[in-house]
Amino acid sequence: MTSASSPSPGLRWGILGPGGIARAFAADLRTAGLDLVAVGSRSVDSAAAFAADFDVAHVHGSYESLVSDPDIDIVYIATPHPFHAEQAILALEHGKHVLVEKPFTLTADEAAAVRDVAVERGLLAMEAMWTRYLPHMARIREIVAAGTLGEIRVVMADHTQRISSDPAHRLNDLALGGGALLDLGIYPLSFAWDILGEPLTIAASARLGETGADTEVATIMSHVSGALSTSISASRSAGPNTAHIVGTEARIDIDRVWYSATSFRVIAPDGEVLEDYVSDIQGRGMQYQALAAERIIAAGLTDSDLLPIDETVAIMATLDEVREHVGVRYPQED
């Protein structure tokens, strides 16, 4: 981690974009007793309705107004990902730390641009990959580090939902960064990075919908240890949404829905259950990433040790490469 100029006590949070994910995040901020003080939207009516629901003091009818608010320290960016880079840079240039919804940006180049501004300003820019900060994932990393699984050979995960086949839906609109990969596949690919590190090779195949956006994507990656990781993401069919880490001495089976607070078991090759973990948290669990951001800044640091900004940029590069394999390109890249 790198040092910031000065530690901060409890942070004052602002939310940019009062959509569904922002509502889940706001509820978990309240659960954790964190200080949510402002919300901003292009529509003052939307911001006001959100503020009324979550008892938010400051209502802003533009993003510029929100990031200019002197009473907030950190901005949670909850808009669709094609807008993340511009909005994160706007907030950083106004002296605000940022927690940016995943996928962090549309491309690796955009992610690097956000990182560079954050470094220049001495501010935290952190990807809101909330799964990494959940208690069951913390326990899984402990088990892996202890060598309980032996040599890890395979990591498998899917994120498959039946969302919409409407060509006008955001998930099917390339101009809005549509496709199963960035919205859903980011979870299993980030999970593979977390357990196995950077991939050495990437192979991918996809089915494209009528708009050219990917509706199903499969990946196979090899990693420096020799382990393989596989993932499936899909936006038009609901699968098991489970994950598995398979080692020579044991495996971990993470239950549905693996990327949220859930249970898992550590199972020996003979079927003996070595550990049966049951998650017990309040709310959805998005507060853990916010609490992590607060600890980082309070310690005078500007990067997450659990998901460093350089890793976020590199994961975006992995997504870029997968898209290149399957033939998906966004209008913004032309």
DSSP sequence for 37-70: EEEE-SSHHHHHHHHHHHT-SEEESSHHHHHT-T
Q: State how far the alpha carbon of 37 is from the alpha carbons of 91, 151, 306, 310, 325, in Å.
A: 16, 47, 27, 30, 44
In sequence order, the β-bridge partners of residue 156 are 230, 244
Torsion of CA 141, 142, 144, 149, to 10 degrees: -140
pLDDT at 108 over 80: yes
CA-based max dimension of the chain = 60
* pLDDT cut 70: percent of the chain above it: 97
Sign of CA dihedral 325, 238, 266, 142: positive
> pLDDT (tens digit, 9 = 90+) per residue, 64-92?
999 999 999 999 999 999 999 999 999 99
Helix (H, G, I), strand (E, B) or coil at 15: strand
3, pLDDT greater than 70: no
Residues forming a β-bridge with 276:
265
What is the rounded CA–CA span in Å between residue 7 and residue 29?
21
Handedness of CA 95, 99, 101, 102 (dihedral sign): positive
Q: Taking residues 17-38, report their average pLDDT.
A: 97
Q: Is the pLDDT of residue 194 over 60?
A: yes
Q: Please state the pTM of the whole predicted model.
A: 0.95
Q: What is the mean pLDDT of residues 210-238?
A: 98
Q: Is the pLDDT of residue 148 over 80?
A: yes
Rounded mean pLDDT of the chain?
96
Judged against a pLDDT cut of 70, whether residue 8 lies above it is answered with: no
Confidence of residue 334 (pLDDT cuts 50, 70, 90): confident
pLDDT of 262 above 50:
yes
Measure the CA–CA gap between 201 and 283, rounded to whole angstroms: 38
What pLDDT, on a 0 to 100 scale, did the predictor assign at position 271? Answer: 98
- Binned at pLDDT 50, 70 and 90, residue 4 comes out as very low
Give residue 20's pLDDT band: very low, low, confident or very high (50, 70, 90): very high
Where residue 166 falls (left for φ over 0; alpha for ψ -120 to 50; beta otherwise) is beta
Q: What is the pLDDT of residue 25?
A: 98
Return d(Cα 224, Cα 217) in angstroms, integer: 23
pLDDT at 7: 35
- Asked whether the predicted pLDDT for residue 1 surpasses 60, the reply is no
CATH of domain 135-280+316-333: 3.30.360.10
pLDDT at 127: 98
Q: How far is CA 207 from CA 41, 219, 314, 322, in A?
A: 35, 12, 24, 13
What pLDDT is attached to residue 117?
98
For the segment(s) 12-130+286-303, the CATH number from 3.40.640.10, 3.40.50.720, 3.40.50.300, 3.90.76.10 is 3.40.50.720
12-130+286-303 and 135-280+316-333: same fold? no
Give residue limits of the domains in the chain: 12-130+286-303, 135-280+316-333
